């Protein structure tokens, strides 16, 4: 019996070694606030055309004034796309007219964009340069009106 188990041990180790733990989505709700860890999609307030192609959502939060309208939202994502490509995408997208680039700041390995949208909306994007091949992007959305 022991010899049979020892014969299958390398196969079992290979099988269990190849199985990596998956990151499950965790959702926490409190009245009008929704906080999500490892979300499968971003809050709908964010224009996805600013997102890099290769990305992984890490965290998000959303404050809604009703079931439909988002007042404030936050999103943290990770991307393995090059920093130059990410910055070019944001700057090119901001020239399309619906989001106006108000300010761009580079400081301490981070590039921060402040954009203004129609109907009193603002969007901040912070791109953090890390030592690894991946970069972190933080998105902040705020709607300054009630309609």
Residue 101 covered by a domain: yes
User: Which pLDDT does position 18 carry in this prediction?
Assistant: 47
The β-bridge partners of 28 are 35
Query: Do 124 and 115 contact (CB within 8 A), yes or no?
Result: yes
The two three-digit tokens of residue 85, written as one number:
């490509």
Task: For 51-99, write each residue's pLDDT tens digit.
Answer: 998 899 999 999 988 767 889 999 999 999 999 999 999 999 998 888 9
> Do 113 and 140 form a contact (C-beta atoms < 8 A)?
no
Task: Give dist(CA 130, CA 132) in Å, integer.
Answer: 5
Residue with tokens 């944001």: 90
| Beta-carbon contacts of residue 86 (< 8 Å; ≥ 6 apart) | 52, 79, 127, 135, 137
CATH number of the domain within which 62 lies: 3.30.310
39 assigned to some structural domain:
yes
Is residue 12 included in any domain, yes or no? Answer: no
Residue span of the structural domain in which 77 resides:
24-143
Q: Does residue 10 register a pLDDT over 70?
A: no
Residue 54 is assigned to a structural domain of this protein: yes
- CA dist., res. 88 & res. 90, Å (int): 6
Within a domain: 32: yes
Summarize pLDDT for 94-133 with one digit per residue, the tens.
Answer: 988 889 999 999 998 899 999 999 888 999 999 998 777 8
Token pair for 144: 């300054």
Number of structural domains the chain divides into: 1
């Amino acid at each position: 019996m022991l010899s049979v188990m020892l014969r299958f041990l390398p196969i079992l180790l290979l099988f269990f070694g190849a199985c990596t733990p998956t990151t499950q989505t965790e959702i926490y709700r409190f009245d009008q606030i929704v906080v999500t860890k490892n979300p499968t999609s971003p809050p709908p307030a964010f224009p996805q055309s600013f997102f890099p192609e290769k990305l992984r959502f890490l965290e998000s939060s959303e404050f809604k004034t009703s079931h439909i309208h988002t007042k404030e939202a936050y999103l943290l994502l990770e991307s393995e796309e090059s920093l130059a490509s990410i910055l070019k995408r944001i700057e090119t997208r901001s020239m399309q007219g619906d989001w106006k680039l108000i300010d761009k700041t580079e400081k301490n390995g981070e590039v921060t964009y402040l954009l203004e949208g129609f109907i009193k909306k603002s969007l901040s994007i912070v791109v953090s340069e890390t030592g690894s091949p991946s970069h972190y992007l933080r998105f902040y959305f705020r709607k300054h009106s009630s309609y």
